[in-house]
Amino acid sequence: MFILKGIDQLQSAITKAKKIRPRVEFDRFGRYRVSGSKGGYYTVICRKDDRGIKAVECACRGGEQGLVCYHAVAALSLHVGLARQRMAQVQAEDVPYLKRTVQIKAERIAGIRIN
């Protein structure tokens, strides 16, 4: 497990992930399966505690030793995208004005109406 502090600590793992291009499977929000280089899958858990500390856990050997592995960053790239989407949804629901704006945009773009 490692604590996510910023992009700098992920750089070399990102380079590796780009080269290897592992397959990331969605299990549930915060839980993913990432293909290993020698076959099989590793489970990666991304979570945030009450204080906002973000931790990433990978079941591979390096991950268990606290290293930032390419499985973790591959899962993170999906997780961050999903978290952003979630946040946008929550905000749209919480703020009537924003929800209205989203509706108007969707209506204009696709000619659809959202209730």
Q: Is 60 in the site for Zn ion (CB under 5 A)?
A: yes
- How many residues bind Zn ion (CB under 5 A)? The answer is 5
Contacting range for Zn ion; rule: CB under 5 A; set: 25-33, 57-65, 74-82, 105-113: 57-65
H or E stretch including 77?
A: helix 70-94
CB of 72 to Zn ion, least distance (A): 6
**List of residues 6+ apart from 16 with CB closer than 8 A:** 70
Where does residue 86 rank: exposed (0-12), middle (13-18), buried (19+ CB within 10 A)? exposed
Nearer to Zn ion, 71 or 79 (CB): 71
Amino acid letter for position 89? Q
What is the smallest separation between the CB atom of 58 and Zn ion, expressed in angstroms?
A: 3
Binding part of the chain for Zn ion, among 11-19, 48-56, 71-79, 83-91 by CB under 5 A, reads 71-79
CB of residue 91 to Zn ion, shortest distance in Å? 32
Find where tokens 């929800």 sit.
Answer: 99
